[in-house]
Amino acid sequence: MKKVLSIALVSTIVLTALGATTANTVDAATTVDSTHVTVEKGDTYKSIAAENSTTVSALEQANGRTVGGFDLIYPGETITLPSATANTTSTDTSAATATAATTNTTTQAATTSTQSTTATTGTSKGTFKISFYDPAVLGSNMGYSGVAANLSVFPKGTQLKITLSDGTVMYRTVNDTGTFANSNSQQLDVAMPSSSIPSYGVTTASVEVIA
């Protein structure tokens, strides 16, 4: 009788041990593709991170979880691996860079086109003698966007492109005449603050009518 009980007791212990071993066995998360895995019973973020050579925090970030929070997951749930979001971010960044480069190229082309148009739409009127004056000194409030000219050559409102001999380009609208300009059809008197008037005082310039 004692022998039978001993055999039964040993069998019970062995079966219990086998049951415990089976209960503690955890299936590894099933790989869906290179960037996703499916949760198996017993999986945790820690075990999935270890199996895929990453960290728990990186895994949490890739799946929109709070870093360091309580990560409750269920069997059958699909988990995104960090490499997937990294690749997406890289692709998005590259696309944004390409778009920015395209926009910049388009802007430069438009600017070049505008500059070329401006350079070719003026009608050349030849070389003129250029002098300068400050309207404010004369008590005028006409500002510095104008130029005094012989009105029989350039009526008021004529827009001029004036390129000085040193390469300086100015755009002025004829809004006045004066003793010098009125008596000399090839002279323009450019409005400019006294502090900006060139020391040489008088020079020459090529003049174009742009409007």
User: Range of 77's domain?
Assistant: 26-121
Alpha-carbon distance 24 to 108, whole Å? 67
Does some domain include residue 205? yes
User: What percentage of the chain has pLDDT greater than the value 90?
Assistant: 24
Per-residue pLDDT tens over the stretch 77-91: 898 988 755 554 455
Does some domain include residue 14? no
pLDDT given at position 66: 81
Does some domain include residue 10? no
Does some domain include residue 159? yes
Tallying the residues shown for the chain, one arrives at 211
User: What percentage of the chain has pLDDT greater than the value 70?
Assistant: 67
Report the domain count for the chain.
2
Count CB neighbours of 51 within 10 A.
13
Amino acid of residue 133: Y
* Domain shared by 88 and 31, yes or no: yes
